[in-house]
Structures are given as structure tokens and as C-alpha cells.
Amino acid sequence: MRLFSAFGVVALISLSMTSPEAIAQQATDAHAPESASGLANKTTVHAKEQMVAAANPLAAEAGLDILRKGGSAADALVAVQTVLGLVEPQSSGIGGGAFLVWYDAETGKVTTFDGRETAPAAATPELFLNQQGEPLAFFDAVVGGRSVGTPGVVRLMETIHKRAGKLEWTTLLQPAIRLAEGGFTVSPRLHALIEEDKGRLDTQPSTRAYFYDKDGKTLTVGSILKNPDYAETLKRVAEYGADGFYRGPVAEQIVAAVKAHEGNPGLLTLDDLAGYEVKEREPVCAPYRDLEVCGMGPPSSGALTVGQILGMVNTFDLGSLGPEDPESWRIIGDATRLAFADRGRYMADSDFVKMPKGLLDQDYLKARAALIRRPTALGADDVKAGDPPWDKAELRIDGRSLEQPSTSHFVIIDKAGNVASMTTSVESAFGSRQMAAGFILNNQLTDFSFEPEADGEAVANKVEPGKRPRSSMSPTIVLKDGKPLHALGSPGGSNIIPYVANTIIALTDWGMNMQQAIDLPHLTNRFGTYTLEAGTEAEEMQNDLDALGFKTSIDDLNSGLHGITLTPEGLEGAADPRREGVAVGD
């Protein structure tokens, strides 16, 4: 089996993105016909001192322009996010939330900023139960106001700008304002997702009016889409800062949209918006080989679960096995299953829930890894939450929440060496399918467990007032000898975790560069079924994994990995061939 050949890994070229023509070429490549494997060929992008890797060429260009004006990674972050919210509204935006992992070049420290949405003060654990006390069907909960949490992105952008920004705040919002007023070209991906969501997106007045023409037809690829309401919102934020979003007319429009939905109104209030706070948190860091892998802790399960997977496979010689040996994927798959068992039992917003102190305890992970030292896959009865070291025991049962893979990730590195790795989301594609003041409102509350308890025992990730729903978003910075080596992350719902963990394994154990690691066909096993990426040579692993005792399936695994590696010669950026993203830099 030759995993690389499926993606037609091409010769690496040095591409310094210093001109509008080069950026335009990247945009053209992003929309080029797909390869025979169903993926567009992309190549490593090289830059000397600054770079942006993001999910849309217009957003990446906006960020690079800010860097060229002397802005920091914190400044560029604002431009990238506000443009993404316009041109990729299905994935992220100012009506959603985000996690940021930040490396400060001056102090040499990694910190994280939690801009995750919060449940309204009026929310109860029964939020997603019907009158009979049964969980709502997923999309019955999503579409409308019930699923909308207090957005965190705007306050997060302001927080990091105050900490590390160099340019004026108003300057950073201008690229998105100009695009919103002048219009942008509808991309193939946006068109396809609008078309796919018919039956939900076109049933809601605000999204039907924006995403479909007067005859109800999906906006065509290449058509020009303007958003004057979004421009007005950003102008208000430019003038008043984040308070221009969380107070006043914009906040009033958000609350009105949430409460006015006829069939599924929500609980969000003006007080919820006015009281929202971004929380700076210590990073969760885990050792892997000679590296330190740092990411976002609770309410994200990302860094803990990635750290557990890496901690278990750290006891195996994956480098000698290589990516084409089914034994590598047996080890990785069962480590992922065991980590997800702990995730389902223990992980949630730690401001509300006591968590075991020892989820990343090395002795505990060695004991978990010992379960994998066998010739075949773990049986279903063997995959259970472990008993990591606790400060204080707490009753807990397993919970499951359904995360949708509609998110975005970007990485920015500036001339000073600051690194921003940010994953941002409205949760499901097009969030709650509600718009207010020109932007999509999230449905992040459906990341909570719909069932709060069973037989008197609590689910960690149940709904509670002011609580932040558990996430799988895994923005990551990998350090070597205390210095950044890689920065990466992905969308993909709970598949984000294996996407990121497997990419780190490919970078570290299999000697791949960032583009090769991102190109690698996906194989993920979270809950017992080993999913192999359709249309790639991962499918050829199916018989081998079946023989090892796994249940397997073949499906689309549409990641959106973006990453940058820091080398002695400069920066190497990569974008996922499965989406429209690019890396650009100087």
C-alpha cells in the first residue's frame, strides 16, 4: 500500500507570496479542478519571515496585507476572521466562538484565549428535551433560536488586539468592510453547501433572502454577493470596539432574531451579551517524543484528548512501522478510542465540572497503552473510560454530543515570531440558520449533551447557565526546546482530534513536511468504527483492518487542516487539498 500516491504528492517548490499575481494564482489553484483522488493538488509555500494559512484566499490575503503594513499576528487575526465570516459564513464568523493558542515571542510563553459561546443565564439542563422529557432530534434543536449561545469571537478579537496589536483597530476591519460593500465572488464550496442545505437554510426568512435568488435558486459559482448589513455592523464595531457588538443596536438585533423564531425561540438576552467575557487560560501541554504539544484545555477536549492519544502511542515505535503498515493504524485507532472514552466520561467546562487531575499523567497513559499491546483490535467491552488520578471523586456517566464539522482554522506568524493558531466556528454549517445584522448566528449550544443525567448520575457536558459547551476544536502549537516548531489545527467536529493527532504523528514519526502530513489520507476511529477516507488509498487498508478485528466504513473525511512549520531557513506553510484554503507569505 502506498498512502502517498493517492494524493499525488508533488515536488515541493519555493513560492514566496509577494505579489497580487501570486495570491491570485493561489486563489485559482484553490478552485482548480480536483485531482483524480477527489482532492486538489497543493504544494508547500515558503516564506522568510511572515505567513498566513487560512481557509479562503481572500481572508489569507487580507491577513498578509495587515502584516505587510507592520501589523502583528494579533492584528492580522482580526482581518482574517472578519473576512472569513463574510466569504465562508457556513463555517465561522462574529456570530460564533473561537479558541486561540498564542505564542508570545517577547516572553517566550504560550497562552490560550477562550472565546467559546456561553449558555444563556435562563438555560436549564432540560433545554434540549421535549415535553415528554426525551431528547429533541438534532436539527429540530439546531434550526431556530434555541441553539444560539452568546457569541465570543468579537470580544476575543478585541482582547488579543489589546494585548499584542500594533495597528489601529479600525484599520483591521477595513478589508472585510470593503468586501462586504463591494461584493465577493461566491466560491464553489459556498455554492455547494448552500445547495446541500436546502430544506433548512431556505426555510428561514433571513437566510433564504441572503443565500438564494428571488426564485429560490442557489447563488451560482462566480456570482457577486454583497452584504451591506455586515458592513454596517463592522463599522459600528470599528467605532465602538467590541461594545459596538455586545451592546446597542447589533445586540438588539441578535436577541430579536433569537426570541422571534416562531417554532423554536431561544433564551439569549441583552444581559447575556453585555456580560460576556473572554477567559485567558493556561495551555494544556503534553510531551511527545522530544516535543511539547500545547493546545486548548477545557471547555475544549482538544488538547487533553490529543495529548492522551500521543501519550499512548508514544510507547510504540511508529517510526519504524511507517504509515503504510496496518499495525500503525491499529495502535493509533485504539489509542484514539481509549482517549475518546475518557473524553465522553470526564471532559467538560472545568469552571463547572471537576475533572481528574491525571488525564495526562504519564503512568496512567502507560497503563492505558498496555491495553493496546496485543495482536488485534480492542473489543467493544475493552474500550471504557479509565480511572485516572483524581483530586476528588465525582459521580459521572458517559455522555455523547453531536458535533458538526463546519468550522475553520487559521495560523498566522509575524516578523517578530508571534504565533496565532486559532480554530473558529458557528458549529453546524450555517449555524442556527438565523442571521442578524448581516451575520450567521451559531448553534453551539447543541454541543452540550441533550440528556443531562441518567439514574441520578450527571453527564459532565450537560447544559447549565453560563456554561461553555464542550468542544473538540484543537488549535495547536508544537514546541521544540521551548520554541515553536509547528502550528496547526482543523475543522471537522470531533474528527478534529484525530486529524490533528495523526498530522503530528506524520510530522514527527514519519518525517513528512506539513503539506505531506496534511495530504495523508485520513483514517479515524473515535467510537468503534474505523472510518477510512473515501476516494483515497486509505480504502485499501480496509481488508487489513477488518482482519485485525475492526469494524470499518468508508466515508468522506473533509478536514480543513492548515499549518505552518518554522525552520532555520524560514516558514513552510500548507493548506488542506480538501478545501479552498491557501498559505501566503513573504
Is the confidence at residue 376, as pLDDT, over 90? yes
Contact yes or no for 466/121 (Cβ under 8 A): yes
Q: What's the average model confidence in pLDDT over 264-293?
A: 98
pLDDT tens-digit readout, 99-129: 999 999 999 999 999 999 999 999 999 999 9
Q: What percent of the chain has pLDDT over 90?
A: 87
Q: Phi first, then psi: what are they for 45, rounded to 5°?
A: -105, 130
Rounded Cα distance between 496 and 504, Å, is 12
List pLDDT tens digits, range 128-149: 999 999 999 999 999 999 999 9
Rounded Cα distance between 186 and 467, Å, is 36
What predicted TM-score, i.e. pTM, was given to this entire model? 0.93
pLDDT at residue number 202? 95
**CA–CA distance, 403 with 444 (Å, rounded to integer):** 9
**Would the pLDDT of 9 be above 80?**
no
Given a cut of 60, whether residue 441 has pLDDT beyond it is yes
Torsion angle, alpha carbons of 122, 123, 128, 133, to 10: -80
- Mean pLDDT for the stretch of residues 484-491: 98
- Nine-digit cell string for 546: 477488518
Average pLDDT, the chain: 91
* Other Cβ atoms within 10 Å of 279 Cβ, number: 15
Which candidate, 108, 148, 156, places its Cα nearest to that of 128?
Answer: 148
Question: How high is the pLDDT of residue 16?
Answer: 34
Cβ contact 485:479 at 8 Å = yes
Q: Look at residue 396 in the predicted model and tell me its pLDDT.
A: 57
What number of H helices and E strands is found in the chain? 19, 23
pLDDT tens, residue by residue, 500-523: 999 999 999 999 999 999 999 999
The whole-number pLDDT of residue 405 equals: 54
Q: Check whether 96 has a pLDDT greater than 50.
A: yes
Burial 55-89 (b: 16+ CB within 10 A, else e): bbbbbbbbbbbbbeeebbbbbbbbbbbbbbbbbbb
> Which residues are part of the catalytic machinery?
407
CA dist 543 and 539 (Å) reads: 9
Burial of 454 (0-12, 13-18, 19+ CB in 10 A): exposed
Q: Which DSSP letter does residue 212 get? A: B
> Taking a C-beta distance cutoff of 8 angstroms, is the pair 313, 335 a contact?
yes
What is the arithmetic mean of pLDDT over 554-559?
Answer: 94
Q: Could you tell me where the beta strands, DSSP code E, fall in 430-579?
A: 435-436, 439-440, 453-454, 457-458, 476-480, 483-489, 523-524, 529-533, 551-555, 562-567, 570-575
Per-residue HEC secondary structure of 399-465 comes to: CCCCCCCEEEEEEEECCCCCEEEEEEEEECCCCCCCEECCEECCCHHHHCECCCEECCEEECCECCC
- Per-residue pLDDT of 149-175, as tens digits, reads 999 999 999 999 999 999 999 999 999
Higher-pLDDT residue of 489 and 460 is 489
pLDDT for position 159: 98
Taking alpha carbons only, the member of 303, 390, 288 closest to residue 339 is 303
User: Model confidence at 1, in pLDDT bands (50, 70, 90)?
Assistant: very low
d(CA 347, CA 342): 7
Query: Residue 390 — pLDDT band, cuts 50, 70, 90?
Result: confident
pLDDT band at 308 (very low <50, low <70, confident <90, very high): very high
Taking alpha carbons only, the member of 1, 8, 273 closest to residue 120 is 273
At residue 562, what are phi and psi to the nearest 5 degrees?
-135, 140
Domain map (residue ranges) of the chain = 3-183+226-280+401-585
* Model pLDDT, residue 400: 52
Q: Residue 122's pLDDT is what?
A: 98
Which helix (H) or strand (E) segment holds residue 73: the answer is helix 73-87
Distance between CA atoms of residues 484 and 481, nearest Å: 8
Is the pLDDT reported for residue 14 higher than 50?
A: no
Give the HSE-up count for residue 578: Cα atoms under 13 Å, Cβ half-sphere.
22
How far apart CA 507 and CA 342 sit, in angstroms, is 26
Rounded Cα–Cα distance for residues 518 and 578 (Å): 10
Tell me what the mean pLDDT of segment 185-214 comes to: 95
Residue 229 in this model has a pLDDT that exceeds 80: yes
Q: How far apart are CA 429 and CA 405, in angstroms?
A: 8
Check residue 41 and give its pLDDT: 86
CATH classification for the domain delimited by 3-183+226-280+401-585, as one of 3.40.50.620, 3.50.50.60, 3.60.20.40, 3.40.190.170: 3.60.20.40
DSSP-assigned beta bridge partners for residue 487: 477, 564
Taking 70 as the threshold, does the pLDDT of residue 404 lie above it? no
Output the pLDDT for position 30.
34
The distance between the two most distant Cα atoms of the chain, rounded to a whole number of Å, is 63
List 440's β-bridge partners, or say none. Answer: 435
Please give the single-letter amino acid code of residue 480: K
Residue type, 184: F
For CA atoms 531, 534, 538, 541, give the dihedral sign. Answer: positive
What is the structure's pLDDT at 6? Answer: 38
Task: Determine which helix (DSSP H) or strand (DSSP E) holds 86, and give its type and residue range.
Answer: helix 73-87
pLDDT of 402 reads 52
Is the pLDDT at 461 greater than 50? The verdict is: yes
Residues 145, 261 contacting (CB under 8 angstroms):
yes
